Chain A
Amino acid sequence: DSHVQYERVGADVTMKCGSMDWDAAVTWTANGTDIDESHLNGSYLILKNVGLSQSGQYFCYEGSSWHLKYQTNLRVGTPPKEPVLMCRSNNYPKGFYCSWHLPTPTYIPNFFNISVIHGTKDMVCEKDSPPKNRCHIKYLQLFSTVKYKVTLTVTNALGKNFTTLTFDEFAIVKPDPPESVVAKPVPNNPRRLEVSWQNPSSWPDPESFPLKFFLRYRPLILDQWQHVELSDGTSHTITDAYAGKEYIIQVAAKDSDIGTWSDWSVAVHATPWTEEPKHLTTEAQITETTSVSTSSFMAPPTTKICDKGAVVGSGAMAVCWTAGLVVAAYSVLFI
């Protein structure tokens, strides 16, 4: 007959060859390899101080006939340590989710059971799809004075353990980081960067539950971050960037009144606008031109000055046209 046998790491294991007598002649195999007689005590197999590598299929055959008399699947593992449990509301006021894991593996199957108690009421935490150690709960009431108590119990063949979390509805609110963070240079402004982002898509109701934001930025060459807190709006213009330096920028979000800050968003990089260098021509080309001053007044391609994507408002367009006209006038004068 075959079955699974669970044993603790470090334990001494004695396997009997089914109903065979102690003094019967038998051969044991482990994962297809014959086991040396030194491990046998009569027909019993003795494994001292079992290790993880000794997990596997064990077969016991009668000596002369080679009939299979016993088989077992030995799984060596450990009882569960205290599990790590975390609960968080990233979709306030809809509800919250809890997720968990074991700090160290047990090497054998574990079963998790989660219970949520709110005052005197038992609540059901809907498990997410099997692979994830996660479940979610919908709030039935808002602004509760009574705490939630979540207990996670983990059991396996060698033992059990548990952990408990007790918290107020407000304490676990933590949004996901802002999404689609974009940083762009501002034309003709060598010290500005325009940053914009969106509310995390998991936050269900930013109208009634507005978020506030925290922006941090620094040039790649420095370690010190600069911070800006914004009570609303999903964009901000940095006005003190070092000219020509590449910046790294991140944004975090928080409910405007309760809970904690989200993790930082994905970092974006941007460099402020710089004027195009005037000495692009080589030595040879400079000596060919009839008038050095003409080339220094050559207008850079108009798209650089009037980048439609970054220009805001019709007033700026008027400036572009005027600049183009002025440059054209100068060029005509110098021909």
Chain B
Amino acid sequence: GDSWGIFTFLCAALCNLPALPALNCSEELGAGQSIQQTYDLTRYLEHQLRTLAGTYLNYLGPPFNEPDFNPPRMARAERVPSATVDLDLWRGLTDNARLAANYRAYSRLLCYLRVLDGQVGTAELRHRLSHFCASLQGLVLSIGGVMSSLGYPLPAGPVGPPGPPGASAAPNDFLKKMDDFWLLKELQTWLWRSAKDFNRLKKKVPPAVVTLRLEARGF
């Protein structure tokens, strides 16, 4: 069941050009193509986020929608994985580690965004948020596809809702808004970082090589 799912997804991800037959997993496509598509997705999402963040911060009201708003980072905001990294460390990341960091980050961010989606007041915001979540879901799948096509295992971990609601709920309305602010900030920073991550991967992964590790999956 699971292996077939992965197999069909692989083929869908690699052979999604309309001209080709569905199961013709030609080697010319390869991971390089998926990396380019993932890169393009991050740019699209970054563009979408600008509109979404503007609307959402206005909904939160001042001071969150002020351009110079620069609050100190509080400990409780660290539950969202940070894109910030030491320069040499970032340079030295293996392809696997680089992809895994992106995969984990967006999976978590997606969860938190979905929680947000359930809470916001206006219909316009709900519409924008759910559209954004759908695109973000696509990004997570795309990264997963690249990892699988390169033979890397998908990172394990909580892909479901983030823990019991009571544990991480903000004690008051203002702090809740702060959490939302940092969520959007972290999301924005990750999208900037991912563009650079995927640029680097584009250069390092030879576009013509594809290894479908069917043997390893016990076919």
Please tell me if the beta carbons of B90 and A142 are within 8 angstroms of each other in the complex: yes
Which chain A residues lie closer than 8 Å to B189 at the CB level? 143-145
Whether the Cβ atoms of B85 and A119 lie closer than 8 Å is no
Cross-interface CB contact of A257 among B43, B72, B73, B188, cutoff 8 Å: B43
A170 on the interface (CB 8 Å rule)?
Answer: yes
Known A-B contacts A141-B84, A141-B85; the reply to A208 vs B72 at CB < 8 A is no
- A146 and B84 alpha carbons, distance in the complex (Å): 9
A166 to B68 alpha-carbon distance, docked (Å): 7
A139 and B199 contact, Cβ closer than 8 Å, known pairs A120-B72, A170-B192: no
Measured as residues with beta carbon below 8 angstroms from the partner, the interface class of chain B is 20 to 34
Q: What is the count of residue pairs linking A and B with beta-carbon distances less than 8 angstroms?
A: 62
Q: State whether A142 touches B82 (Cβ < 8 A).
A: no
A208 near B84 with CB under 8 A, answer no
CB distance from B30 to the nearest CB of A (A): 19
Q: How far apart are the CA atoms of A149 and B90 in the complex, in Å?
A: 24
Interface residues on A, range: 20 to 34
Asked whether A258 lies within 8 Å of B192 as measured between CB atoms, the reply is yes
Given contacts A208-B196, A208-B199, A208-B200, contact A142 B70 (CB under 8 A): no
Which residue in chain A gives the minimum CB-CB distance to B189? A145
Judged by a CB distance under 8 angstroms, whether B19 is at the interface is: no
Contact in complex: A93, B185 (CB < 8 Å) = no
User: In the bound complex, how far is the Cα of B192 from the Cα of A63, in angstroms?
Assistant: 78
Q: Which of A120, A140, A143, A209 contacts B193 (CB 8 A)?
A: A143
B203 with A207: CB separation less than 8 A: yes
**A 251-305 contacts with B by CB, 8 A:** 256-258
- Distance from B160 Cβ to chain A, minimum over Cβ atoms (Å): 25
CB closest residue in chain B, given A117: B70
Q: Which residue of B lies closest to A210 (CB)?
A: B199
- The CA of A207 and the CA of B185, in the complex, are separated in Å by 27
Digitize A197-219: 1 where CB-to-B-CB distance is under 8 Å, 0 elsewhere.
00000000001111000000000
Is the beta-carbon distance between B192 and A139 smaller than 8 angstroms? no
For chain A, residues 130 to 166, give those with C-beta under 8 angstroms from any C-beta of chain B: 139-147, 149, 166
B12 contacts chain A at the CB level, 8 A cutoff: no
Within 8 A of B (CB), among A155-210: 166, 170, 207-210
* B153-209 interface (Cβ within 8 A of A): 182, 185-186, 188-190, 192-193, 195-196, 199-200, 203
For residue A120, which residue of chain B has the nearest CB?
A: B72
Q: A149-B70, A257-B43, A258-B192 are in contact. Are A142 and B84 (CB under 8 A)?
A: yes
With a cutoff of 8 Å between Cβ atoms, the chain B residues found around residue A93 in the complex are: 87
Could you say which of A170, A209, A257, A258 has the most chain B C-beta atoms within 10 Å of its C-beta?
A257
Q: Give the chain A neighbours of B195 by CB distance below 8 A.
A: 256-258
User: How many angstroms between the C-alpha atoms of A145 and B109 in the bound complex?
Assistant: 15
Would you call B83 an interface residue if the criterion is a C-beta within 8 Å of the partner chain's C-beta atoms? yes
**Which of chain B's residues has its CB closest to A258's CB?**
B192
Q: Which residues of A are found within 8 Å of B196, using beta-carbon distances?
A: 143, 208-209, 257
Cβ of B91 within 8 Å of any chain A Cβ, yes or no, is yes
Task: Say whether B124 faces chain A, with CB atoms less than 8 Å apart.
Answer: no
- Give the 6 A-B residue pairs with the shortest CB-CB distance, closest first: A257-B195, A143-B193, A143-B83, A147-B70, A145-B189, A145-B185
Name A's B-contacting residues (CB within 8 A): 93, 119-120, 139-147, 149, 166, 170, 207-210, 256-258
Interchain residue pairs with CB less than 8 A apart (5): A120-B72, A143-B193, A145-B188, A166-B68, A208-B203
